[in-house]
Structure 1
Amino acid sequence: MLKKLNLLTVGIKAALLTSAVSGSAVMANETGEVKKVERIQVTGSKIKRFNLTSPTPVTVIGGVELENQGITNVNDLLASMPQASVGLSPETTTNLIFSSGLNTTDLRGLGSERTLVLVNGRRYVPGSVGGTAVDLNNIPTSMIERIEIATGGAAAVYGADAVAGVVNIITKKSMDGIEVDVSTVRPEQSGGEENFFSITGGMEGDKLSFIASLNYTENKSYTQLSRDFVRTPVNSYANPANTSGTDGIPDRIVLGHPTALAYYSEGGDFFTQSGFDDNAFNNHHYTFDANGNVRAFDYGLGRLPNPGVGNASRSYLQGGDQQGDGVFGHGYKDFFQTPLERIIASAYGTYQLNDEHALTFDFTYSNTDATTESGPAFFRHTIRRDNAYMKDDMAKLLDDNGLTEVTLRQANEHLWGNRSYGQEREVFRTSIGAEGFLNDDWGYSTYVQYGRIEQDTIWEGEILTQNQMNAIDAVEYNGQIVCADRDANDNVVGALAGCTPFNTMGATSVTQEQLDYIGTTATRFAKHDQVVFALTVDGTLFELPAGYVAAAFTAEHRRESVTTTPSDNMAKGLIFGNSSLPMSGEIEVDELSAEISVPLVEDKFLVQDLTLETAYRYMDYSVTGGDDAWKIALNWGVSDELRVRINRSKSVRAPSLGDLFTPNSKTFDSGRADICRADSIEASGSEFKDNVIRNCAADNMPAGWMPTDEWLAGGSLPGYIRGNEHLNNEVSNDHTIGVIYTPSFVEGLDFTLDYWAFEIDGAIEYFDRDTVQYCYESSSLDNPFCANVVRNEQTRDIEYFIDKPINAAQFARKGFDFESAYRTDILNGFLSLKFTATYLTEATENTTGRSDGLRVKLGEMKSPRVKARFTASYTHDDSSYVLTTNYRHSTVESNTWTIEDNNYNDIPSYTTFDFMYKTYLLDELQLRVGVNNLLDKAPPRNPFAFDEGEFFDVKGRRLSLGAKYSF
């Protein structure tokens, strides 16, 4: 690093030690002489300054805080910060295919795609092919110097996607020696263990300085049933006392005893063993015994009445010790955490050409493996009377009821096994740059950067759907059991060539030949390339009476491209529930930006200094066209104790490659009935009921319409996810107003209070099956959603929906951030206290595409009014004691709740405590012992929250052990 720029590190460290956010930074040389710090750069600006004054709020997290928490992943720390929440994590991706194991952060709850993550002020390759969010799994924790979180005006400085703000991860640039760190986390209850190892080393020479590291982390999975609060779940069911949507009686109530609750459906859902559709059997189910003979269905502890509208075909079963047939207990084959293994190799170096110029290079290679698992593929088979495997007892049952075929529903785990989705991601990123001084007033920084992620997905336990249908339709033909070849009238005319017949009625095993014909694996190989060229020059333009006008000018070119290659069975849609077509897309963007800092007043009454901060960025996208972002801010130093900052800005978010170019990919959405079915409309208490009646009629649904396919209407509705090349950029209007107070009468104490507001229009949103609801709840069928609902022309059943992104959402978030720190000497030691909190005053969104679709989310589970974090650290001699408290305020599940909905809307507040003890046994050897979730706080006992790993600690109390040796 250049000698002049070396002073930046000293200035930053001084600021971190004092937690100062304003005022002059100083450093001491070896002789004790105090000198002014040279220009330094803070996140949120590319202008190097003579102090840490920033016009926008910046929260600084030292790398040591990861160590103090026993944390080996950046996202685990960011998730506990009041300004942020989890975007994706191993706890939230247990049922996701292409995102399993990802770790992304989400500032202000506006989505990971609206949070720009930088490494050393530069963009990082996305964590998932086609996306924009950075996977924090790829950041080596042993290399982190500090993390800076900035909000307000960030897009004008750094470009698109910094709508909610910027997380800038600053890495160590050099070290002299070698450091080995090992740690492990052991939960009190089984599963979820973590193991970590790193070795970091480097040298600091006259010309060459570098640092390199190798990190290895293993996060083991654990099932939901491994946790005691899930083994005694808080469940609910449809209230049998409920008579309508206007009787003042809750539709759903909490189950009165802690048993597993599960269901099967007389209309067509599946259960663990084979069973007959009972519509023709006087409301009785049948299944098979171990020998394949028909027997009556065992209802275990019996049914729970469930007259819920839209679920009229379903009967719920009580679980417990007598579960009977067809029961999936809560947590069955569900995981709380995706297993994740990662290894990261990284390096950073500087070669000093002379006192004025230096070359820089960095390199990162990361490999992560994650696997998600779901239940077995589930089916509804048609078994004809002429099936060659049908036993006499089953044949008699059909004959007695005058049937020529029967429907069989099954999910035979013991035949095909559970489905699993393995993800291997390899990330390669490198850059070469130069930085230095053009003259005494101007400096420069330039670099070229290349990054790639390769993402390989393997589906196991899959079924070739048509092959299975062929194999099950087994008949006797010419004295042999074969797969039936039928004519248009359903008559057998021969045998299907290459088909292996299979008896699914009571089957407990399959032959290898049958498995080869019916079972399969599928793959998808994908890659995402990113190339960046950038040049920044910064310095002083001229001098005004109040000081120098400083500026930074940046030119940047970025190209991103993506390709995906699915296997043939995926591309042709041959396997159960999944299909994916090849994708290819590219986007280029050219950007020019200018940032100018103008000192207006200095050393006047009530104005120690007053500076105007401006920035403007123009962006030209190859797909969405030209756009701009800007900010204007005032930074007012009232006195040595008080500073005020005001910021107004415009930010943008560009659509990702996945938003633009994703080809048709099969999906399923379940759990809701067709909004146009007569019984749903009749019992609806919705404010949009009149719109639904009018629009359903206008869409050729006759009066009293009911779907002909109950399985489809009330079960898993098929859909297709696809991109939209007609998207526009999102636009956000941002405001921040803040004060920084450092009272002179209490040394070591400071306060920061910032008001912030984000209002996003034309937000890009995927609507899933809500596409159907918003289509018919709108004022007319002329809306962005109805074109994405495809119905059968004759029956009017929904055949599928299309889930593509649309610029049809609005989001608003407003609130206050408060931060205070206090440092003092006490009892021959050093005490440091830090309190950070966010108070949310507004959280609204409109994701309906309707002008009257605004919904208040403030105070709901995803948007608590208050989140806070308090850390107390006491250091004495060679030992440190750190206590951390995290708090989230009480919430509700829904602000639109009425007593008609349920009797459990309220969710209580939640507080956890973590403790860490660190000591040095030798000058070179540090030992750490900690306990996370010290009081073993389980999630709130509420049906909506008791197993919710996104907002609450589901891992439980756990011991953290670590050691670090330096030499």
Structure 2
Amino acid sequence: MKSLSRHQLAIAVQLSLLCAAPLGMLPALAQAQDAPAASQEAKTLDTVQVTGSRIKKAELETAVPVQVLTREDIDRSGYSSVSDIVQNLTASGAGLNTKFNSSGNFGFPPDGGGVGAGAATVDLRHLGAKRVLVLVDGIRWVNESSASGVGASVDLNTIPLSIIDRIEVLEDGASSIYGSDAIAGVVNIITKRNVDGASVELNYGQYSKFGGGDTYGADVSWGGSTDRAQWFLAGSYYKQKEISSADYWAARVPVPGTGLANGSSATPQGRFVFMDPNTGQVHSITPNNGVSDPAYTAQPDCPTARTDDFHCFGTPDRYNFAPNNLLLTPSERKSVFGQVRFEFTPTFSGYVKALYNERESANQAGPEPIFLGTDAGVYNKWAEQLLVIPANQAYNPFGFDLTTMGANPNLFLIGRRPTEGGPRRYEQKVKTWYVNAGLEGTFNVGDRPWSWDVNFVRSESKADQTNYGSYNLRKINLALGDPAVCAATPGCVPLNIFGGEGSITREMLNWIQPVVRDESENKLTLASANLTGDLFEMWAGPLAFAAGYEYRKYEGSYTPDPITVAGEYNGVPSGPTAGKYDVNEAYLELSVPLMKDTAFGKSLDLSLAGRYSKYSTFGSKNTGKIGLRWQVADELLLRASWAQGFRAPTIGELYGTLSRFDATLADPCSGLATVTPECVADGVPQGYEQTNSQISVVTSGNRELKPESSRSLMLGAVWSPSFADNASWSDKLDLGVTFYKHEITDAIQAPDAQAILDRCVANRDPASCAAYDRSSTGQIVRFDDILDNLGTINTDGWDFTAAWVLPERDWGRLSFDWKNTWVTRYELVNEAGLTEPRQPGIEVNNSAIPEWTSTLVSNWNLGPWNVAWTMRYIEGLDETCGGAAGFPICDEGNVNHLGGITYHDLQVSWETPAVAKGLKLTAGVNNLAGKDPPTCLSCSLNGYDASTYDLPGRFWYARMKFDF
């Protein structure tokens, strides 16, 4: 374990001073979870169900840590979406959000889920969004649709923030309680229920550093009740405008600090690598475009001087695609929600709730590159195997055939980026509907109350994506091919791919540029029944239980455009996916009181849970959990839990067909002064240089996948010292620490592509070397990365919390809420027994695991005024320089350090009941100091890690809420 940084040491010392007495007694402490709203509810109810247990109890502090984000916490954050709220928890990892400009750049991930452009997910403990279960009112929500695959996680943007009463976050394994996916934890979103009257809220926000990114919205709701009925209706509208990457300095270059060295070889002028059949000379050239033979460094395969209209291709010719991207993607969301409850008798009631959500979003990438030739690596026969550009093609300037066919092909690479066709634009329309109906009631067994409920859910998320700016390779093949064949083909126009920027006319584009339309959907059908109550009285209290049955059916499909299915699409290819499976489950949970009011403490309770799951895909799975809750005294609670968990393979992971994503890889054999023996063994010739840093990697699902298995351990305590209750200096003080540990085996994943390449070259690892092929010129032309149950994931760490409320004074009331997460271990071991690069303190693949994250909320109230100041700290990270090695930005060996950063958020609000039922005005600024995120060299887009850091600059906002 690394030594503590000065930030960690300072925080640890402060916490130890606060917690010295209990920490001396405890091997591990747990996370405090006091929430004012929840505590008030507990005073009015005999029992309450808390996330992490199906048993209704009087205690809100259970044997597992649950963090409760109240409505006050949500409003104080200044955020307008559920994802922004949960992604800023200290235990959160790299979740997808609207700062990811994803589809055209990331392609198709190995899990078959596509990239949910415009979607937002939650990741706990850095274990991935697929290992977090999202519930709404204790019941599963439908998985997202992205129109580019069958998603495996919930899109939080389908749940409007305005309908939420609170969010309960269980940061512990809970598969025995809830079934698959609850490995890293559970996010349970509780909707508003007890509402009396109507409300209108308007909001507006803006990123001060940019000319775009304005956000605005409106929420309208109405609720009420009679003696037997209760209802709540709400409508929500939200719009976020886009910000161009060209507006941010670090996003204007492919890799910050490297100029064009890591730019694309697919340029508006074009790059052409071929062999002259008359001389045997290999050329790597680009058009002069009116400039006479610039003094570029000559390449080994190109003469030092040319007498035609071309010159040797060099670094200055590379293309900077980055300004065409988006720093913030646009999103427009509309939703309506309603729920009605009716009490048939005092012990029998029913409910219906429904939601409809519609999202329109978009993302954008640079003009789509066209790669042709034997070294193109695009896995397309029209580009790599069947292309012949004859000497008599109208725009062939070389006087001989260029061919990829036969025993001696001479066309190795054409890289042309037709800026004439404009950038790639992906526009999504996503419609989600959800209906949940149920019955619930109570009855007595003797003098013991029992509760029951039955629930039914039907839900669907459907997405359509329209892609402008892509190309049809079959039509490009025809337009570059035999002039007679093109002339005989209706609509075919010969293509000038050699003439430099501006040479492709509108008529040519009309032939080769289609509008591509894809769609996907996810469906969920669920039925459940639950029963809970006290079985009998034991020596230390009643033995409580919960038992139930659940049936779920998942259906999903992804249907790409017909030209993609036909293999004609020039963009990232993929096959259609369709599949379904169902599961039957039964569970039993027991709460066993072992001790009460003895010399050893107030109480000691044992919790036991077991679940049996039978899947139509792989068979059955059993999971169990055991927990202890020891109330040593009124002020001190110790708790521990050990749990088994699992995650079933998803539809995309099982049934996803061959698809491709373009990974940014640094070939370790590229540009070496002398070819090393390892590279010679890998088939690399002298003078080899990687033509393109984006390598096409093919992946697919695997029907032989087994479920992932996990084991989770939690140890901890909560200490609420009595000397801090109603004292002159304190009304209430809660302190806690949690130790967590997760181990996942048979993890479903594809090996890291860069690690495969590095292992093969360095160690000649047979499995790694079998994953890819090189052409005779050394270029990587095949790279397979198929899903499997590979390796293990081990992670552990600590959560530290402190909540302090000061007595009310003439100058108001102060309170502090401090939460910290320290990741002490994260280890991913691959199928070869080697450790992958992802670990604490490291930035890799657009996601980071900071060793230390901390959030301190200081809140002040005085009459109608409230002021909140939030500090969010993210510790520094290191990353390998990759393509930036040797440049001044990466002059400390091969490591770039991303410095630690502290964000400051300030909010001021004022409310009065004098206007109708109430008027509340709020104004705030997030990232008050206007800090830019640290520069990331390995991140695919925009020069920073969008899953870890805020957008550059300040975000200010204003809200007005009117109750009547």
Q: Tell me the equivalent position of 2:422.
A: 417
| Aligned residue number for residue 13 of structure 2 | none
Give the conservation status (yes or no) of the 8 Å contact 1:664–1:721.
Answer: yes
- 2:287 maps to what in 1? 287
Is 1:958 aligned to residue 936 of structure 2? Answer: no
Deviation, structure 1 residue 947: 2.7
Deviation at 1:760, TM superposition (A): 0.8
- SS of equivalent residue, structure 1 residue 332: helix
> Which structure ranks higher in relative contact order (CA pairs < 8 Å, sequence separation ≥ 6)?
2
1:226 aligns to 2:262 (yes or no) = no
The 3 A distance-change label for structure 1 pair 497 and 895 is: closer
1:125 aligns with one of 136, 142, 159: 142
Q: 2:79 aligns with which of 65, 71, 79?
A: 71
Q: Does 1:759 align with 2:743?
A: yes
User: What residue number does 1:241 align with?
Assistant: none
Change (3 A) 1:148 1:619: same
Identical aligned pairs, as a percentage?
25
Give the residue type in structure 1 aligned to 2:231.
F
Q: Deviations over 1:548-594 (max 9, x none)?
A: 00000010010101123222201011010333333221111111110
Structure 1 equivalent of residue 65 of structure 2: 57
SS in 2 for 1:106: coil
Does residue 859 of structure 1 match 2:841? yes
Partners of 1:703 and 1:665 lie apart in 2 by: 29
Match of 1:178 among 193, 198, 201: 198
Which residue of 342, 345, 355 corresponds with 2:346?
355
Within 1, Cα distance between the matches of 2:220 and 2:481?
60
Query: 1:856, 1:895 within 8 Å by CA — same for their partners in 2?
Result: no
The answer for unaligned runs of 5 or more in structure 1 is: 1-13, 28-35, 238-259, 307-312, 319-324, 476-481, 485-493, 694-701
SS in 2 for 1:954: coil
- 8 Å contact 1:788–1:801 — kept in the other structure? yes
Q: Which runs of 5+ in 2 are unaligned?
A: 1-32, 108-113, 301-310, 374-387, 403-407, 726-731
CA positional deviation for 1:88: 0.6
Alpha-carbon distance, 1:409 to partner: 4.3
Match of 1:436 in 2: 441
The one-letter code matched in structure 1 to 2:896 is: N
Tell me which of 80, 90, 95 is aligned to 2:98: 90
Q: Deviations over 1:355-398 (max 9, x none)?
A: 00100111111111221211222235689673454598x769x9
1:195 pairs with 213, 216, 231, which one? 216
Separation of aligned partners in 2, 1:545 and 1:797: 75
CA distance in 1, matches of 2:512, 2:151: 34
Pair 562,775 (structure 1): closer, same or farther in 2 beyond 3 Å: farther
- Relative to 1, partners in 2 of residues 1:314 and 1:198: Cα closer, same or farther, differing over 3 Å? farther
Counterpart residue number, 1:309: none
Shift of the alpha carbon at 1:471? 1.2
Whether 1:626 aligns to 2:626 is no
Distance 1:232 1:276, change over 3 A: closer
Distance in 2 separating the partners of 1:588 and 1:534: 14
Partner of 1:501: 494
> Given the superposition, is the C-alpha separation of residues 683 and 952 from structure 1 closer, same or farther in structure 2, using an over 3 Å criterion?
farther
Say yes or no: does 1:328 pair with 2:328: no
Name the counterpart of 2:361. Answer: 370
- The whole-number CA distance in structure 2 between the counterparts of 1:718 and 1:709 is 22
2:823 to 825, 831, 840: 840
User: Map of 1:881-920 to 2, 5 A cutoff?
Assistant: 881-893=867-879, 902=893, 904-920=895-911
Equivalent residue letter for 1:140:
P
User: For residues 662-681 of structure 1, what are the structure 2 equivalents within 5 Å?
Assistant: 662-673=656-667
Query: Quick one: distance in 2 between partners of 1:296 and 1:803?
Result: 44
Alpha carbons of structure 1 residues 344 and 303: separation in structure 2 relative to 1, 3 Å: farther
Summarize the alignment of residues 271-282 of structure 1 with structure 2, pairs less than 5 Å apart.
Answer: 271-277=267-273
State the match for 2:125 in structure 1: 108
Q: Equivalent residue of 2:477, what SS?
A: helix
Shift of 1:707: 6.3
The alpha-carbon distance between structure 1 residues 263 and 591, as it changes in their structure 2 partners (threshold 3 A), is: closer
CA RMSD of aligned residues (A): 3.7
SS in 1 for 2:790: strand
Q: State the 1:857 CA deviation.
A: 0.9
Matched, 1:725 2:703: yes
Output the CA distance in 1 between the equivalents of 2:793 and 2:434. 34
In the TM superposition, residue 901 of structure 1 has moved relative to its aligned partner by: 8.1
Contact residue 665 and residue 754 of structure 2 kept, 8 A: no
Letter in 2 for 1:737: L
- Choose 897-906 or 577-586, whichever is displaced more: 897-906
CA distance in 2, matches of 1:230, 1:755: 39
* TM-score (structure 2 length as normaliser): 0.82
Question: Cα distance 1:550–1:829, how it changes in 2: closer, same or farther (>3 A)?
Answer: same
Asked if structure 1 preserves the Cα contact closer than 8 Å seen for 2:521 and 2:556, the reply is: yes
Alignment-derived partner of residue 878 in structure 1: 864
CA deviation after TM superposition for structure 1 residue 605, in Å: 1.1
2:25 matched residue in structure 1: none
The alpha-carbon distance between structure 1 residues 708 and 473, as it changes in their structure 2 partners (threshold 3 A), is: farther
Task: State how many pairs are aligned.
Answer: 861
Please point out which of 9, 14, 17 is paired with 2:36: 17
The residue matched to 2:527 in structure 1 has which SS?
A: strand
Contact 2:94 2:123 (C-alpha < 8 Å) held by counterparts: yes
Closer, same or farther: CA 823–288 of 1 in aligned 2, 3 Å: same
Equivalent residue for 1:587, pick from 581, 587, 591 = 581
**Contact kept in structure 1, 2:671 and 2:690, CA below 8 Å:** no
Q: 8 Å contact 1:577–1:666 — kept in the other structure?
A: no
Provide the rounded CA distance (Å) in 2 between the counterparts of 1:430 and 1:938: 43
* CA 1:391–1:15: 2 relative to 1, 3 Å: closer
Tell me which residue corresponds to 1:345.
Answer: 336
- Between the aligned partners of 2:877 and 2:755, the Cα distance in structure 1 is 27
- Secondary structure, aligned partner of 2:760: helix
Distance 1:611 1:521 in 2: 63
1:587-626 matches, within 5 Å, as: 587-626=581-620
For 2:410 and 2:581, how far apart are their aligned partners in 1?
54
TM-score (norm 1): 0.82
Which deviations, in whole Å up to 9, do the C-alpha atoms of 1:281-334 show, x marking residues without a partner?
998844254xxxx643657xx77999xxxxxx998646xxxxxx54417x3212
Instruction: Tell me, yes or no, if the aligned pair for 1:286 and 1:295 is still in contact at 8 Å.
Output: no
Q: Where does residue 803 of structure 2 map in the other structure?
A: 821
The reply to whether residue 446 of structure 1 matches residue 454 of structure 2 is: yes
Distance (whole Å) between structure 2 residues aligned to residue 636 and residue 298 of structure 1: 78
Alpha carbons 1:871, 1:882 under 8 Å: kept? yes
Moved more, 223-232 or 551-560: 223-232
Counterpart secondary structure, 1:859: coil
**1:588 & 1:263 partners in 2: Cα distance?**
47
Amino acid at match of 1:80: N
Q: Note closer, same or farther for the CA distance 1:391–1:585 as it changes in structure 2 (3 Å cut).
A: closer
- TM-aligned CA deviation for residue 724 of structure 1: 0.5
Task: Give the match's secondary structure for 2:420.
Answer: helix
Residue 809 of structure 2 aligns to which amino acid in structure 1? Answer: I
Alpha-carbon deviation of 1:19? 8.0
CA distance in 1, matches of 2:721, 2:225: 40
Q: Deviations over 1:245-280 (max 9, x none)?
A: xxxxxxxxxxxxxxx445568xxx221223554988
Aligned-pair distance for 1:508?
2.3
- Give the SS at the match of 2:923: strand
Q: Kindly tell me: are residues 650 and 305 of structure 1, through their superposed partners in 2, closer, same or farther at Cα, counting changes over 3 Å? A: farther
| 1: CA distance, partners of 2:323 / 2:421 | 17
Distance 1:649 1:404 in 2: 60
Residues in 2 aligned to 1:564 and 1:236: alpha-carbon distance in whole angstroms: 39
Aligned equivalents of 2:218, 2:858: Cα separation in 1: 27
Distance 1:384 1:591, change over 3 A: closer
Q: Which amino acid letter does the alignment assign opposite residue 119 of structure 1?
A: V
Q: 1:158 to 1:680 in 2, by over 3 A?
A: farther
Classify 1:545/1:56 alpha carbon distance in 2 versus 1 (closer, same or farther; 3 Å): same
Q: 1:795 to 1:213 in 2, by over 3 A?
A: same
CA contact (8 A) 1:755 1:815 kept: yes
